[in-house]
Every structure is written in structure tokens, then in C-alpha cells.
């Protein structure tokens, strides 16, 4: 039997991150052969991975990486089972190393087959499953390419990428701020113009039905009922709809006895309120049409316009939740 030295154990530990005793036992089993010892640890990882395959891995770290040319970004999550592991410096370091590899790949599948210090990323995750004792996996994986790409990661839990149409002097800050919006508000599309009409129609019917049902309960309890909107997206607010809304507002002002000469000062504000009340889908799902989180007097499109002539051309988001 080969004599196992402390230096050999430490070398294996540095290469794999495994505990001292696990490294020593692996070297003993491999009769001192370094490469065979790594294989022993990997087999251990496979056994642990098989046992924990059905475990929930909802904790972890989200990583965003931008290439040197600032025209490509990747955001992904390295998932584990517990927050305790996710906060470990070694785990965060592993996630960062994976980010350096991920930026060179366009799909999760390609990334998992990429080289990581002599093994594939997939094999590394299995190895580390044995080392850590928890299920590890790459969950979300998104890539974005644009003339300029910026990113933002919130608390290692949510990451976002934003693509701009050009690299302006303040592109980095603009992309970061919009990425903060994406991370915070979770848009699913760029503009209300991207919504499928059938989706909007079905969503309108469902939302109205939900509010009407809630109002039944509020009425039973003697509480103020919620407003039931006629519409939920700017895509439904045709010129005809807006003309009718304006006419209805004027009729209301007339019924209230408001002098006609002051209507011009009142109508614009009421029309703005009508639009706000009837575009709830846009504010939830369409990035450019959302209320800007850093200044609720404008939407995201207005913020971006204020920053110069670059436009948002795409975004991606990955979250552990």
C-alpha cells in the first residue's frame, strides 16, 4: 500500500474542495494515484447525486457575466438545497468560475459539456455534490446579445441582463438601472405591442371575473368594492375607446356642474387616470410600459429616452424564487 502524505492530501483537497478525510480515503482507495483518487471522489458524488435527485434545490447563487466587448451576457443560477451552502465562500467562488466558462456558450447544454479543469461542468457538479453533500444543478440559463449588454444581480438571488441598441457614454449605467427594474418587477415582454390579442382578451376576461368575485365578498362584508376595469392593456385603448372615455369624462363634469371653461384643465388628468386604471397588464408584464421604480412619475420607456438615443432591445432574467 502506497504511503499517503499530507502534501498529496492537500493537493487533492485544493483540486476538488473535498474534506481532508475524504481526500485521504480516496487516495488510499486509489493506492496513491491522484487521477484515480479524483475518480473515486466523483463516484462518491454520483452516488450522493442519485440519492438526492428528488430533493428541492431552490437555494443557490445567481451569476451574471458580461464579455469584454460588452455585446454578450449570460445569467444563470447554480442551485443547491440550503441557504447555508449558498452563502459559503467556496460555493460562491465555484459559481464565479462557472461564470467565466458560461460566457463562452450559447446554451445550457453546451455549457454543461464544457471543460472545467479537466472534466466537464456536469461532472464538476456531480463531484461537488459528493463534496458538499447536497444536490447541485444549473437551473436557469439565459444568454443575451446586443450592441451593448449590461447586468445587475440582487443579493445573489435574482439576476438580469439588458440589451441596448448602441453603446452610448452612459450605456453601462442605463443598462444597469433597467436591469434593476427587470430584476425587481419581473417583466415578461418588452412592450404591450408584443402581446398576442387572444392572450389579452383571455386575460381581460379572467381579471374582470376575479375582481367581480372579490367584490361580492367585499359587498357582503360591507367594504368598499374595487373598480372593475373595462380594459387591461394599451393595445385595447383604440382612438375610439379614448374618444368615448373623454366624452364620458365631460358628461361627468357637466353633471357635477363644473364650468365648461375649466374642463381643459381637468380632462387630461382624468384621461391619464383612465389609462392607468385600464393598463394593469402592461404595468405588470411589459418592461417599457412599467412604472419606473426609481421615479414613479414616468415609465421605463421615458427613463430610457431621457438617457439619450439608445433603445432597449432585449432583456433576460433568472431568479431562484
49-108, pLDDT tens digit by residue? 566 666 778 899 999 999 999 999 999 999 999 999 899 898 999 999 999 999 999 999
Q: Within a domain: residue 319? A: no
CATH of the domain at 12: 1.10.8.10
Residue 42 lies in a domain: yes
Look at residue 30 and tell me whether its pLDDT is greater than 90: no
Question: Within 13 Å and on the Cβ side, how many CA atoms surround 94?
Answer: 29
Check whether 46 has a pLDDT greater than 90.
Answer: no
Q: Give dist(CA 240, CA 148) in Å, integer.
A: 39
Confirm if 18 and 124 have CB atoms less than 8 A apart. Answer: no
Residue 19 lies in a domain: yes
Domain count along the chain: 3
Tell me which of 189, 208, 236 is where a domain ends.
189
Q: Is residue 318 part of a domain?
A: no
Residue 256 within a domain: yes
Residue 1 lies in a domain: no
Residue 26 lies in a domain: yes
**How far apart are the C-alpha atoms of 289 and 280, rounded to whole Å?**
10
What does pLDDT average to over the chain? 90
Through-space distance between the first and last CA atoms of the chain, rounded to whole angstroms: 50
41 domain-assigned? yes
Say if residue 145's pLDDT is above 90: yes
pLDDT recorded at residue 37:
78
Boundary (domain end) residue, out of 174, 189, 204 = 189
Domain residues for 281? 193-294
Same domain, 185 and 199: no
Which has more confidence, 43 or 294? 294
User: 181 and 89, same structural domain?
Assistant: yes
Give pTM, 2 decimals.
Answer: 0.81
Element spanning 181, H or E: helix 171-185
Residue 32 in this model has a pLDDT that exceeds 60: yes
- 274-315 pLDDT, tens digit per residue, is 999 999 999 999 999 999 999 999 999 999 999 999 999 999
20, pLDDT greater than 80: no
pLDDT at 201 over 70: yes
Give the domain CATH number at 136. 3.30.479.20
pLDDT for residue 299: 95
Cα separation, 281 vs 204, whole angstroms: 9
SS3 32: coil
Q: Are residues 170 and 124 in the same domain?
A: yes
* Mean pLDDT score, 23-40: 77
- Indicate if 88 and 18 belong to the same structural domain: no
Mean pLDDT (whole number) for 137-163 = 96
pLDDT of residue 38: 74
Kindly state the average pLDDT of the residues 29-48.
73
27 and 149: one domain? no
Shared-domain flag, residues 65 and 166: yes
- For residue 19, pLDDT over 70 is answered with no
Claim to verify: residue 153 and residue 201 sit in the same structural domain: no
Grid cell listed for 185: 418587477
25 and 86 co-located in one domain: no
Q: How confident is the model at residue 210 (pLDDT cuts 50, 70, 90)?
A: very high
Domain shared by 164 and 68, yes or no: yes
Is it the case that residue 9 has pLDDT exceeding 80?
Answer: no
Looking at residue 128, its pLDDT comes to 85
Residue ending a domain, choose from 189, 212, 246: 189
**Shared domain check, 183 and 151:** yes
Amino acid at each position: 500500500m502506497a504511503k499517503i502524505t499530507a502534501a498529496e492530501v492537500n493537493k487533492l483537497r485544493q483540486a476538488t474542495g473535498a474534506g481532508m478525510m475524504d481526500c485521504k480515503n480516496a487516495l488510499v482507495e486509489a493506492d496513491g494515484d491522484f487521477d484515480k483518487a479524483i475518480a473515486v471522489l466523483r463516484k462518491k458524488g454520483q452516488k450522493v447525486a442519485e440519492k438526492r435527485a428528488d430533493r428541492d434545490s431552490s437555494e443557490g447563487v445567481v451569476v451574471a457575466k458580461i464579455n469584454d466587448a460588452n455585446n454578450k451576457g449570460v445569467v444563470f443560477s447554480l442551485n443547491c438545497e440550503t441557504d447555508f451552502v449558498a452563502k459559503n465562500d467556496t460555493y460562491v467562488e465555484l459559481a464565479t468560475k462557472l461564470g467565466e466558462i458560461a460566457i463562452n456558450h450559447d446554451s445550457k447544454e453546451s455549457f454543461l459539456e464544457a471543460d472545467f479543469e479537466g472534466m466537464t461542468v456536469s461532472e464538476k457538479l456531480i463531484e461537488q455534490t459528493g463534496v458538499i453533500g447536497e444536490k447541485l444543478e444549473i437551473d436557469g440559463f439565459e444568454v443575451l446579445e446586443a450592441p451593448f449588454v449590461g447586468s445587475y444581480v440582487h443579493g445573489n438571488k435574482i439576476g438580469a441582463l439588458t440589451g441596448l441598441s448602441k453603446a452610448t457614454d452612459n450605456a453601462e449605467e442605463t443598462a444597469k438601472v433597467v436591469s434593476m427594474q427587470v430584476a425587481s418587477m419581473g417583466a415578461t415582454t418588452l412592450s404591450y405591442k408584443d402581446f398576442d390579442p387572444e392572450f389579452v382578451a383571455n386575460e381581460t376576461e379572467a381579471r374582470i371575473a376575479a375582481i367581480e368575485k372579490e367584490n361580492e365578498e367585499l359587498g357582503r362584508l360591507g367594504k368598499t368594492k374595487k373598480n372593475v376595469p373595462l380594459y387591461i392593456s394599451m393595445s385595447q385603448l383604440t382612438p375610439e375607446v379614448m374618444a368615448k372615455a373623454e366624452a364620458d369624462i365631460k358628461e361627468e363634469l357637466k353633471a357635477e356642474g363644473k364650468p365648461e371653461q375649466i374642463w381643459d384643465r381637468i380632462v387630461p388628468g382624468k384621461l391619464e387616470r383612465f389609462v392607468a386604471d385600464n393598463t394593469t397588464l402592461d404595468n405588470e408584464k411589459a418592461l417599457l410600459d412599467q412604472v419606473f421604480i426609481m421615479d414613479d412619475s414616468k415609465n421605463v420607456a421615458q427613463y430610457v429616452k431621457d438617457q439619450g438615443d439608445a433603445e432597449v432591445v432585449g432583456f433576460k432574467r433568472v431568479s431562484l424564487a
